[in-house]
Structure 1
């Protein structure tokens, strides 16, 4: 289906945002609490090349894409992949302050980030540095 996906153009230029998340529980919560129309897509993890190409066609049709993911190695890779593939896509709630606000106290997050796999965060360069210093992931649910 994604190979053939053809997206309609947005009806109004001021109402052309599509939000993209990697986590199904986050998308379910967003839709449960949203007021009005929400355009929300969920990759359910790392997007395939087919998914990325479908998202690029979405942008070609005139939609703006805002992407967010977990603050971990895979999440940052997802955001980088979307930003590299989709013209004019933007990172959404993926800043250093968003990361810091999403950290739980240390006893609740035993996961550790692999600094060699973390990569860069060109949309907010201080983010990767803050994550390396902390050494801990933060998840979308937070």
Structure 2
């Protein structure tokens, strides 16, 4: 199994061994546009396996709004200093999905860091469980 690692430039990711058909290094890489890094991408096979399983469970495309963030980009977008985006986390668009079905599937697949926003869900696999609402989003997540 391949170890987790930072790839400084996402096009350098070896696609010969890429086994996640619904995601690409480009969409998971930092989106600073070269302002702070060269398109860094954190590669973690277990996370990608869970993401692929989530896609299969949902039966529809999952749109990643934000994946890895380099230190500069994380600061520029107001991310927390210890943000899991600094390694591997995703913010996924909720459009076209039942938010509660997505949340339930994510929990079942081992995502332990879950941030609930009006239009997206944050997912990571931190050691202990954490759940939070982004400002103004709690009402969106009540049944």
Bigger strand share? 2
Bigger helix share? 1
Which has the larger Rg? 1
Could you state the TM-score of these two structures normalised by the residue count of structure 1?
0.29
